[in-house]
Amino acid sequence: MTTSQARQRLVIGNWKMNGSLADNVELLEALRAGADVSADVAVCVPFPYLAQAQALLETSKVSWGAQDVSVHASGAYTGEVSTAMLSDFNCRWVLVGHSERRSYHGESSELVAQKAQAALQAGLVPVVCIGETLQEQEAGETADVIAAQLKPVLALGPQAVAKMVIAYEPVWAIGTGRTATPEQAQEVHALIRAALRELGAEQVQVLYGGSVKAANAASLFAMPDIDGALVGGASLVAEEFLRIAAA
C-alpha cells in the first residue's frame, strides 16, 4: 500500500459568505442523503449557520466546521469567535489562514500558526491554508512562499502538525475558473509533503483548493500527494460537491 492510499481521502466545502436558513436546509439535507462515499466529507459554514449545520448533520456522515477562529479565549474582541464557541456546536474543523483572510484582513503566517495552535488545544482540527499569488507564481517564487507560510506552523512541532490538515490553494486559482493542472498541483504538494516528511509528519492530509469541480477532481486526486480537496463555489451545489467527493 502506498502512503497516498493509506491517507484517507478528505473533501471539505468552504461556503465562504454564502447561504441562508432556507437555502441551507435543501443543501444540507441533500449532503446528508448523498454522502455515502468512501471519502470523509465536511462543510465549513458561516458562523450564524453552525447551529443549523449541527442540527441537520449530527446523525449523518458529514461533519462540519467554521471558516475562522480567534486566538483569544474570551474578552473584549468584538466580532471574534473563540474555539470554545465552536466546540459548543460540536465543530470538528476550522479553516485558518485562508488567502482571503490573509489578503483582506492582513493575517500573517505567524498569526495563522497561533490560530492553528489554539484550535488544536480546543480539540479542533485546523485546516491550514497556504498558497501563492499569480505575481509570485509568475516570478518563480512559489517554493519560497510556501516554505515561508509553512515555517511558523511546522515550528509547532511534529505532534501538533500531525493533527492538522494542510490545504494548498494557489491564490490565482481561487474563484477565477483557472485551475492548476494536476501536475502543477502535484509539484507543490510534493514540496509540502517533503517538508512534512522532514518534520516526521508525512501522513498529514494535504488538500488541493482552487476552482475544484467534478470535471477535474478525479485527475487531481490521482496525484500521489493530493489527498482531497477544499472546495469553494462548487460546495454550494449538492450534486456537484457529492460528485467531487465520489471522484
Tens of pLDDT, residue by residue over 87-102, are 999 999 999 999 999 9
Establish whether 98 is a catalytic residue.
yes
What value does the mean pLDDT take over residues 21-46? 95
Cell of 11: 473533501
**pLDDT at residue number 43:** 98
**Residue at 197 is within a domain:** yes
* 235 belongs to an annotated ligand binding site: no
CATH number at 57 reads: 3.20.20.70
Helix (H, G, I), strand (E, B) or coil at 105: helix
* 233 belongs to an annotated ligand binding site: yes
pLDDT at 66 over 60: yes
**Residue at 71 is within a domain:** yes
From the candidates 132, 169, 189, 240, which is the catalytic residue?
A: 169
Q: In 3D, which of 121, 138, 142, 209 has the Cα closest to residue 169?
A: 209
This prediction's pTM: 0.95
pLDDT at 228 over 80: yes
* 15 belongs to an annotated ligand binding site: yes
Angle, alpha carbons 122-123-124 (nearest 5°): 95
* 16 belongs to an annotated ligand binding site: yes
* 232 belongs to an annotated ligand binding site: yes
Assign 176 a pLDDT band (cuts: 50, 70, 90): confident
Cell of 56: 441537520
Which residues lie below 8 Å from residue 152, measured CB to CB, with a gap of 6+?
Answer: 109, 110, 112, 113
Which H or E element spans position 118? helix 109-121
**Residue at 1 is within a domain:** no
From the candidates 98, 100, 107, 132, which is the catalytic residue?
A: 98
Domain span at residue 169 reads 8-242
Total domains, the chain: 1
Percentage of the chain lying above the pLDDT 70 cut: 98
**Residue at 3 is within a domain:** no
**Residue at 2 is within a domain:** no
Establish whether 169 is a catalytic residue.
yes
* 90 belongs to an annotated ligand binding site: no
